[in-house]
């Protein structure tokens, strides 16, 4: 039996490579009649308000963003911009080469897997299309739970869905949203992924003082588990 019965992952910057806001976001700004730098400033400033899900669905949230930016697009433009933003966030999302092999190897060892992500409405919509989706036993999204990391509710929701206690779980993340501190306080073992590409990663409220275990590659997660049982593999 592995020491950990489950490994829970952050998404952006952990299962994915570094995330930066790409050129496709310009289309969203154009549809809204908003300067791209103004839209980016509002999106950055309001990230946790949007990711906590309290502003309504994707369309209502984007209307609220427009209010913050001082623009008044038509309902038709807002609907088109919601679809445009979905495409833009999806375009920013590039899975790490190790993501699928690591998740598959964990399952081969009998270890459960899960995702805990601070996110807005786009990720829950497009995650089912990604290669990692069938390899995740649970998916916990802040925009659906109504809380953001490091709130213990996110970590405990994952445990409840898995039927495990926090001490059964290893948590892996790049450190955004003080997620490592949150996982540790919830009773999990937390490790930071410090892959070289993350120097350019867009992240908020980072765990800068983290002094716990650090990995430089997602594949190193497997080194933290007990060896594969004899006769498997």
For residues 86 and 104, membership in a common domain is answered with no
Is the CB of residue 119 less than 8 Å from the CB of residue 11? Answer: yes
User: DSSP assignment of 127-138, as one string?
Assistant: GGGSTTGGG-SE
In a domain, 104, yes or no: yes
In a domain, 229, yes or no: no
For residues 166 and 200, membership in a common domain is answered with yes
Range of the domain at 213: 6-19+94-224
For residues 143 and 209, membership in a common domain is answered with yes
In a domain, 231, yes or no: no
The CA distance from 185 to 151, in Å, is: 9
For residues 129 and 216, membership in a common domain is answered with yes
Residue 187 half-sphere exposure toward CB, CA atoms < 13 A: 13
Cβ atoms within 10 Å of 70's Cβ, excluding its own? 9
If one counts the domains in the chain, the total is 2
For residues 45 and 141, membership in a common domain is answered with no
Would you state the pLDDT for residue 231? 44
Residue 6's H or E segment, with its range, is strand 6-9
Running DSSP on this structure, what letter comes out for residue 5?
S
Would you state the pLDDT for residue 2? 56
For residues 191 and 81, membership in a common domain is answered with no
Pairing of strands 189-193, 112-117: unpaired
pLDDT tens for each residue of the chain, 233 residues long: 458 999 999 999 999 999 999 999 999 999 999 999 999 999 999 999 999 999 999 999 999 999 999 999 999 999 999 999 999 999 999 999 999 999 999 999 999 999 999 999 999 999 999 999 999 999 999 999 999 999 999 999 999 999 999 999 999 999 999 999 999 999 999 999 999 999 888 888 888 888 999 999 999 999 998 655 444 44
For residues 64 and 127, membership in a common domain is answered with no
For residues 198 and 103, membership in a common domain is answered with yes
Query: What's the predicted TM-score (pTM) here?
Result: 0.93
Residue 113's H or E segment, with its range, is strand 112-117
């Amino acid at each position: 039996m592995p020491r950990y019965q489950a490994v829970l992952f952050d998404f952006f910057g952990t299962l994915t490579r570094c995330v930066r806001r790409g050129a496709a976001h310009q289309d969203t700004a154009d549809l809204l009649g908003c300067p791209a730098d103004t839209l980016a400033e509002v999106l950055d400033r309001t990230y946790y308000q949007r990711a906590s899900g309290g502003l309504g669905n994707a369309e209502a949230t984007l209307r609220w963003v427009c209010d913050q930016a001082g623009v008044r697009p038509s309902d038709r433009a807002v609907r088109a911009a919601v679809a445009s933003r979905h495409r833009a966030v999806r375009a920013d999302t590039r899975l790490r080469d190790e993501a699928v092999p690591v998740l598959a190897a964990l399952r081969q060892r009998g270890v459960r897997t899960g995702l805990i992500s601070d996110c807005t409405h786009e990720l829950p919509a497009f995650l089912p299309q990604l290669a990692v989706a069938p390899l995740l036993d649970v998916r916990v999204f802040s925009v659906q739970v109504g809380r953001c990391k490091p709130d213990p509710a996110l970590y405990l929701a994952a445990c409840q869905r898995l039927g495990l206690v926090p001490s059964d779980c290893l948590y892996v993340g790049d450190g955004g949203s003080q997620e490592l501190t949150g996982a540790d306080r919830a009773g999990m073992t937390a490790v930071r992924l410090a892959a070289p590409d993350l120097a350019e990663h867009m992240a908020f409220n980072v765990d800068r003082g983290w002094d716990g275990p650090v990995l430089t590659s997602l594949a190193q997660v497997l080194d933290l588990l007990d060896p594969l049982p004899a006769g498997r593999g």
